[in-house]
Amino acid sequence: MTLVLDSGGLSLLAEDRARLEELRRRGEWPALVPAVVLTEVLTGDHRRDFHENRLLRTCEVLSTDEILARKGAALRAAVGGARKPSAVDAIVVALADAVGGATVLTGDLRDLRALARHTVNDVRVGGA
């Protein structure tokens, strides 16, 4: 199954080489990363971003087009309650849905699971 990373998933994997090797061994690599996730995870300082940049070189970083942005907006709107998940989280789940279903690796299980309940395809959310 395809793997999609949010900022928490990317940060944690950047520091966990053993887990990355396990994902490669199981054929679950490379992962997809919406480009907007880079805004959350990077600082702009190449020294501080070294591990994340090293990992990103092995990922497929995808732009967010209007169709994906609208899907993310619909997912966000579908989540009830006063506290809405972030737009970035909605884009991550929308991408996982758009590729026909995927596993999202995250540090934010609650929000991403709330979004995944409204997808068309099977989007699984796992802890990073």
Domain ranges (residues) in the chain: 3-127
CATH class of 3-127: alpha beta
Check residue 29 and give its pLDDT: 95
**Average pLDDT for 57-73:** 97
Long-range contacts of 60-68 (CB under 8 A, 24+ apart): 60/30, 60/31, 60/32, 60/33, 61/33, 61/34, 61/35, 62/32, 62/33, 62/34, 62/35, 62/95, 63/35, 64/34, 64/35, 64/36, 64/91, 67/98, 68/34, 68/94, 68/95, 68/98
* pLDDT attached to residue 22: 94
* Percentage of the chain exceeding pLDDT 70: 99
Q: What is the pLDDT of residues 85-116, one digit of tens each?
A: 999 999 999 999 999 999 999 988 999 999 99
Sorted by sequence, the CB contacts under 8 Å of residue 72 that are 6+ apart come out as 64, 87, 90, 91, 93, 94
